[in-house]
Structure 1
Amino acid sequence: MAERRNHIYFFYKRDEKTSEQVKSLIHLAKEYDFNVVSEHRKANIIVSIGGDGSFLQAVRQTGFRNDCLYAGISTFNTPSFYCDFHIDDTDKMIEAMTNEQIEVRKYPTIQVTIDNSASFYCLNECSIRSGIIKTFVMDVFIDELHFETFRGDGIIVATPTGSTAYNKSVNGAVVDPLLPCIQVSELASMNNNRYRTLGSSFILSGKRKLTLKISPEGNHYPIIGMDNEALSIRHIEKLDISLSEKVIKTVKLKDNSFWEKVKRTFL
């Protein structure tokens, strides 16, 4: 029999209002024999309080752990993709706490390696954009095959769950998270006699590797977005991006599948 997950870490903004709300959650957790810990490394359940941004930060700041269960509790009235619970809906929380046969949803992540050295993980997307008001040039390779030369504002590489975020705002496709893949979308590409791109988003198998080699021309201050964080690194030569073996495990509630979330949010 699998060991029960009962060590909870709450990730939240330490302001007065949120801290007060978390007090009631801590009381509820203890009432159902959960151990609330102060260090995320000691937890096997990590709960974010806030919205999707808080959930992304919780995953990032706790190291994309695939040995624990993540759960999101929303403090907003608007729909949320990563938060399956609302701060005022304790009935669903209790049901999840007491259901030993709870189902687990697995969200894929991508791994980004910069210049064969530093590596990062993303749950939503990695984007690379010009940090100044000027286009820049990238050669796009798929499994070492030169695919196209891009000139424009930048490129977004999204996970299936991230397909509903930044990627969707540039007319990328919404992708079922059961498909192990990554999606590549352009930001304001130029198409002329010198530069020619596909001009639409494309989807790569999770077994493929995408490489973006950045031209030295105008390559001074690129901004690399990792979910809802930004890195500013000078003179990047290339990014290698692929689907990671790490998955983020979350609570899977009845009547709250990915497509039900898409319908609730956009339709």
Structure 2
Amino acid sequence: MRRGTRYGALLGPLLAGGATPDLVTRAARGLGLPERGRYAVVVLGTPVPDAVVAEGPDVDGARWWWGSAEASPGAVEGSPGAAEAREGGRQVAVVLLGPAGAARAAARLRELGAGPGGVSPVVGSLAELGAARRLAGTALLTCEPGSREIVRLDERLPAALLVSRPELSTRLLAEVFGPLLTLAPAERSLLVETLEAWLECGGSVGRAAGRLGCHRNTVFNRLRRLERLTARSLSRPRELVDLVLALEVLRLSSAPP
């Protein structure tokens, strides 16, 4: 993996988006990268661990280029991405992927203790890195506050839609979970935990009861109470979608349930 001011200066215009063909060609030559290839962008919310920036390709053959950690995570000072880069101390890398693709890149970051972080979908050229950086940043926003998650955008598309429109997410949470949020924290957490367990168990009350360590009737009664509070039925698909999305907004909130 490579890192430094020169690499950051070359990557910056690409990651900012809208780079001209001549600029893309110059950056490709300076970085020793093909203009067309299988690329992903990584955005980390914390400083990059030293092990992550070791020189050379990784075991999958992927090659990593990190932008400067000072003025930018891959954005040169004065570029459209520079101010955004400084916010929150984010770090950005361009990855020329190996055979295992973006999933292996995400797994390697987890193994090295990086995170939280977001990984973009695969793009086919250096000219598409600006769009990939934005999508990787959106993926990072879907990480639970305080977590060390490394997530790929394609694994978090519903959550990505929610974080992309925070005003609508806030409205959704208030509209669906408003009465639930007025409960005492412990009571609210119990109902939320039960809903999460029921969803993770594929809608099985019995399996959810086993996971929670309680009787299945207890799970059933909690779910019925949640339905009454939210005026939505778990048996109606459209209303279930409302509940699942509101639960996702709650997960992404900095406040505990």
More helix by share: 2
Say whether the fold is shared (TM-score over 0.5): no
More strand by share: 1
Q: TM-score if structure 2 supplies the norm length?
A: 0.30
Q: TM-score if structure 1 supplies the norm length?
A: 0.30
Indicate the structure (1 or 2) with the bigger Cα radius of gyration.
Answer: 2
